[in-house]
Structure formats: structure tokens, C-alpha cells
Amino acid sequence: MRIGIIGGGLMGVALAYFLSESGLDVTLLEQGNHLGGLNDEIHFGEMRVPRYQNPILSGDLALLDLCARMGLQDEIVFQKAASGFVHEHKLYSMANLLDFLSFPVLNIRDRMRLGTLILRTQGKPDWASLDAVSAGEWLLQNCGPEAFDRLWRPLLEAKFDGVYDRVAASYIWAWLNRMSSIRRMPSLEGKIGYLRHGHYSLVTALAKAFVERGGHVQYDTRVQEIELGDGRVQRIRATGNALEFDLTIAAIATPALLPLLPGISAEYRASLAATKYLGLVCPVMVLDRPLSEFWTLNLTDPTIPFATVVEMPHPSYQGYTVVHLPRFTAPDNDWLGVSDEVIREAWVSHLKMIFPQFDERSISHFAVSRSRYVEPVYSVGMLANRPAVMTPYAGLALVNSSQVYPELPTSNATVAHAQRVAQQIIQGQFQAIG
């Protein structure tokens, strides 16, 4: 069976790797001149930094296992990582129970309500009931109006770029669970891991293993149309090429797939269009000294243009720190079109308000990354709207992170999903063109 995978991000590359284990004839089609997608890296001369932050948690078993298979286990560094909040330009640690009990943003009654909610949510098996409830409504009910206004509303506004009314409560459930998992494994309690050379090193190791097993990678191959006819895929039109496969797998975000499918039914188009995505604008800076003692700080002020500050020491350049300052963008947000200079000025001026000691001269390198489709928004009713892997068209599958719901669309979930789907394809569960 000839399989074509559209998209050389972590999902596409992992899928290609797992499929090639069974000797299938797989070709990976990537529009760029290298693989990686969101897990790409930026070069500042000799120095390399991940384009976006890629933390690894101790419970990310699928990802850790894949790294081990690629011989990258010694490349994973787990380090003590404090997290906290920035509220009204002040920093509050949230590293332990004591911090939580003395968190001044909430009164003692609201702190207790929040603590109870976190405990109740942990491992909650009947998360499906939260699929039908909006996050706002659920948090208001469980945490009270004051905690909602002071903490949750600004966090939701910052994360979803103001458009959070339809976000399902199951998203908060998944987020609280992932955050509290940092404290679950005793030996790694409070630690965050990362690959010394970023997730990009995993992508390149997977691609190398895939090619060694006989897989093909076609770079600079932008798929322009998946031609359909008689209810099945006829051919793929890519830059300068017409390609034919028995099974085509689109490993790209749903809104990036829609323009490739002019021939689909109105019903299928509407079902795919139901999943909205957040984009991302993310400046990354390399500083010659630390900015703070925190790995991550969540901001509760939606007027600040970034939502989080994520800081890690550079693994190879001693004394240097890498800081990511992501801002997720709703589909109609115009930050994606703003110049690097304007972004730098806006971001740096707010950093100075949060960290009065911050000196712009400590910035050794600065770059801005922009991605249009980064994260599917888990809306109320997502359980029914989650796109199926097999499309209504024979020979066409869709594999992307919107299908990992209710899990957060992390790289761990991406790898686990790729492995699951590859097994199903190998077992013949999906309809190729026969």
C-alpha cells in the first residue's frame, strides 16, 4: 500500500516513523525546505533555540518512550521549575501549598473553593459531562464571582484572546490535571523537562529512522488540492506534480485542509469548519542573564500583549537564558500582521513594567515567530464535533491534534495519537483505495 502524508510537523513525522515500522511504502510531503512545523528551531548564528517552548512533563510517557527509542533519553533534562502569576504587575509564586494558601489575589474562602475544585477534578473520569458546559459558567459556579473576575476571566481572556465564551469546561479540567501532574511523580516532583536540543532533535531523529527504513521525504512540496471523484481520492496536486497514493493522510490543522478540498460535500465542510483554531505570535529572546527565578508565569492582565512568560536556561550556552513570550491569537486578531519592530517595542515595554530590573541591553538575540493554526479550540459540544480520522472519502484520512480531545493538544498527545492511528492503519482498519 502506498501512503502519502501531507505535513512534516511532529504529527506527520511520527506517523511516518510508526507506519514505516511495518514496511509500508510511505512518502512525507512537506511544503517547507525542512521538517518540524511548530517544533522547528531558530538559528542565531551558531546558537539554536526552539521556535516555541516545548516543556516535557514526567507523565508524558508516549513522548518519553519515543525519545528513548530514538536514543535521546540522555538528552532530556529535568530541572526544578517554579511557576507563578503576575497580577497587577506583581509576581506571586505558586510553587507549593503554602504559596497557594497565601495567594493574595483570592480571599481565603475563594482559595479554599479553588483548592477543592482542583482536588475534585484530578483524574475525574466523567469529564464528558463537562463537554456540554462552558468553562466560564463552570468556573463561575465552582469558584464564585470574585475569583472568576480576579483570576479566571483574565486568564481565559489572555489564553483565548478574549474569545472564550464557547470554550468547554473540559478544557479547564484537562489543564488543571496536566498542571497538577507536575507534582505526581515523587522523584520528579515540581520538575519540568526539555530536550537539550529541542523537540526539533526528536523530529530529525524520527525522520532519519524513517528514511533509513526506506521512507521518502519530499521537501518544497506544497499540496494544493486533493482531487476527489466518485467518493474517493483521485490524485494529489502538489507544486508541479500530480501524485497518487492508496491512502492519503492529511497531518495538518483542519482549517489548512479545507482549501485543499474544493470537492467535498457542504455537510462535511460545515463539520470541519466547526473547529476553530488559535494562532500564535511568539517573540523569543536570548538574555545574557536570567529574567526571574520562574519557569513559567501566567499573566492575569489582558491588556498586556503576551499571556505567559516561559524561561529556561540555554542548555548549551552557560549563563544564557531563553525566554518565550507567547500570545495566542483569535482568527480575527491582527497581531499576526504586525512587524517585528512594533512587537518588540510593545513586548519589551510591558516586560519593564513587570520586571523593573529588566535591562534591554541584556537581550543578545530577539526574533518573532508567527503561526496561523496552532491549537484547536475545545468548544462546548466538541465530543460530537471532533473530526473522525477516516473522512467520508475513500483513501483520505485526517490526523491532527483536534482529535486528541479531551487531552490537551500537546506533543505527548500528538505522538500517542500518531502511534494509535498508525497501528489502526497497519491492522487495516482504514479504507484505502482498493
Ligand X SMILES: Cc1cc2nc3c(=O)[nH]c(=O)nc-3n(C[C@H](O)[C@H](O)[C@H](O)COP(=O)(O)OP(=O)(O)OC[C@H]3O[C@@H](n4cnc5c(N)ncnc54)[C@H](O)[C@@H]3O)c2cc1C
Q: For binding to ligand X (CB under 6 A), which residues are involved?
A: 6-12, 29-32, 37-39, 52-53, 55, 222-223, 251-252, 256, 280, 326, 374, 400-401, 409-412, 414
Taking the least distance from each CB to ligand X, the nearer of 31 and 201 is 31
What is the nearest approach in angstroms of ligand X to the Cβ of residue 337?
19
For residue 244, how many C-alpha atoms fall within 13 Å in the half-sphere facing its CB? 4
User: Using an 8 Å Cβ cutoff, are 283 and 308 in contact?
Assistant: no
What is the nearest approach in angstroms of ligand X to the Cβ of residue 239?
9
Alpha-carbon distance of 278 to 262, in angstroms, equals 23
243 - beta bridge partners?
Answer: 236
**Other C-beta atoms within 10 Å of 23: how many?**
10
What is the nearest approach in angstroms of ligand X to the Cβ of residue 167?
17
Alpha-carbon distance of 382 to 379, in angstroms, equals 5
Residue whose C-alpha is closest to residue 206's, from 314, 63, 77: 63
277 - beta bridge partners?
Answer: 376
Alpha-carbon distance of 200 to 40, in angstroms, equals 5
- Which residue sits closest to ligand X, CB atoms considered? 9
Contacts of 332 (CB under 8 A, 6+ apart): none
What is the nearest approach in angstroms of ligand X to the Cβ of residue 36?
6
- Among all chains, which residue has been given the C-alpha cell 500570545? 327
Taking the least distance from each CB to ligand X, the nearer of 5 and 106 is 5
Alpha-carbon distance of 29 to 318, in angstroms, equals 38
Taking the least distance from each CB to ligand X, the nearer of 40 and 131 is 40
What is the nearest approach in angstroms of ligand X to the Cβ of residue 245?
14
What is the nearest approach in angstroms of ligand X to the Cβ of residue 128?
22
DSSP code string of 259-278: GG-TTS-HHHHHHHHT--EE
- Among all chains, which residue has been given the C-alpha cell 462552558? 134
User: Using an 8 Å Cβ cutoff, are 396 and 257 in contact?
Assistant: no
Taking the least distance from each CB to ligand X, the nearer of 34 and 150 is 34
Taking the least distance from each CB to ligand X, the nearer of 134 and 419 is 419
The torsion defined by the Cα of 345, 315, 14 and 411, in degrees rounded to 10, comes to: -60
Taking the least distance from each CB to ligand X, the nearer of 362 and 424 is 424
What is the nearest approach in angstroms of ligand X to the Cβ of residue 223?
4
User: Using an 8 Å Cβ cutoff, are 18 and 206 in contact?
Assistant: no
What is the nearest approach in angstroms of ligand X to the Cβ of residue 160?
14
What is the nearest approach in angstroms of ligand X to the Cβ of residue 32?
5
Taking the least distance from each CB to ligand X, the nearer of 26 and 223 is 223
Alpha-carbon distance of 183 to 197, in angstroms, equals 25
